[in-house]
Amino acid sequence: MSGISSEVIQPIAKENKVKSYDERSLHILLSSYLKNSSIYSKTIFHEQSTYGKDSNQIWTHPDMVGIKFLNLQTKASQSFMKSINSVETVKLSSYELKKEINSDADLKKAFFQAVSNSSWANYGYLVAFEFSDNLTEEMERLNQSFGIGIIQLNANPYKSKILFQPRYRDLDFKTIDKLCRISRDFEKFIQQVDNLITAEERYYMSTEKELNEFCDKYFLNDTEIESYCKEKLIPIEIDKEANQ
């Protein structure tokens, strides 16, 4: 039959999806970077709050919180600082963590989520593993306008860097109270911090150990980092000079 084509139509092959890492897999990279800067950090699990899985509450909870204690060396200075104002002995930070930010729309959504989630803290940060190169100017503008710091996370946590510094703010205790009411993770973190601030000298080391054990785990060496990144499919930069 001359009017019918004999061509066989082949089915369109489905594209193989490239497996990628999860956002939560980045938390230990951030906690390792922060620990190297003497900051204790803790993941706040949104799904465990009283709001449960309400997607609207992503603007309420930070992804991670951090605490840095003023490093005073002498007993006299430590006691003096506590007697004046214990709040000045610590700095609390909030972190909004993303896998990648590739567009202006991505940046603004993530940035203002960080603004909302960090209103209670001394410092607020937006953290991402991948930033598009053409967003630097807009990141700088937003940073200057709203004071949220920006961190570029690296597969080697110790190569992570602060692209733009955050602006200091006083603690918002009403929001801290709200977060304590809706998130057991956050409440426990605040309790642990308070325990360490108010600990008597003889209990300080044991209380500090409790805080360290409560907070997020962190890497102890480069071998752990490399193995973890390979397991979680996190891209690792190869040091070409070391391999020559």
pLDDT value at 74 more than 90: no
Share of the chain above pLDDT 90, in %: 66
> Torsion over CA of 27, 129, 230 and 159, rounded to 10 degrees?
-90
Q: The tokens of 49 are what?
A: 């709050």
Higher pLDDT, 80 or 234: 234
Confidence (pLDDT) at 20: 80
Share of the chain above pLDDT 70, in %: 77
In 102-238, the DSSP E strands lie at: 123-131, 149-152, 161-164
Confidence (pLDDT) at 69: 83
Q: What is the pTM of this model?
A: 0.83
pLDDT confidence bin for 5, thresholds 50/70/90: very low
CA angle 122, 161, 18 (to 5 degrees): 110
Residue pLDDT, tens place only, 201-212: 888 889 999 999
pLDDT value at 50 more than 90: no
pLDDT value at 226 more than 70: yes
